Amino acid sequence: MRKRNSIVFKLFESEEEYVQQLFILVSCFLRPFRMIASSKKPLIRHEDVNSIFLNV
């Protein structure tokens, strides 16, 4: 039972860290790139942003 609880806890911790890393990815990279793509003179196209962040 103790080993199972330890495994479940580690799984929970790793999922929590994964979600935190996704938040950083979205807030520090995806949103700024989308804003740049929406500007008057975009340095990157929406299609490119979507390709880079396909599964995010």
Query: Domain residues of the chain, as ranges?
Result: 2-52
Alpha helices in the chain (DSSP H): 2-25, 31-37, 46-52
Q: What is the pLDDT of residues 11-28, one digit of tens each?
A: 999 999 999 999 999 999
Task: Report whether pLDDT(1) > 90.
Answer: no
41 φ/ψ sector (left φ>0, alpha ψ -120 to 50, else beta):
beta
pTM summary value? 0.79
Task: Report the distance separating Cα 35 and Cα 20, nearest Å.
Answer: 22
